[in-house]
Amino acid sequence: VIDLAFGPDGKLYVAQFDDASWAAVEIFGDGIGGSVHRCDLATKHCEELASGLPMLTSITFRNDGSLWGTTLSLIAGMGDAVQILP
């Protein structure tokens, strides 16, 4: 887990750098991409919303309620903002 954010719906959104592991990306070079999960803290139920996001490093909500993340920002000149949910 690399980042957490509470959404406008009151749920916790959890970003994972890479679902294989940090070492899979940084040491072995065979990561599978990160993911974002939405968790209801009352029921303790989580669901995957997105996967395969390369080197996902952060998530945030914009004022319009859309969820955005940054990918590949650990590689100079490669970082990008991506919309995860409308």
Q: What pLDDT was estimated at residue 49?
A: 97
pTM of this structure: 0.88
Q: What share of the chain has pLDDT > 90, as a percent?
A: 77
Sequence-ordered alpha helix ranges (H) in the chain:
22-26
Going by C-beta distance under 8 Å and a sequence separation of 6 or more, which residues neighbour residue 8?
61, 65
DSSP state of 54: T
User: Tens digit of pLDDT for each residue in 35-77?
Assistant: 999 999 999 999 999 999 999 999 999 999 999 999 988 778 8
**What is the model's pLDDT at position 27?**
83
Helix (H, G, I), strand (E, B) or coil at 4: strand
Which percentage of the chain shows pLDDT scores above 70?
100
Indicate left, alpha or beta for 8 from its phi (over 0: left) and psi (-120 to 50: alpha): alpha
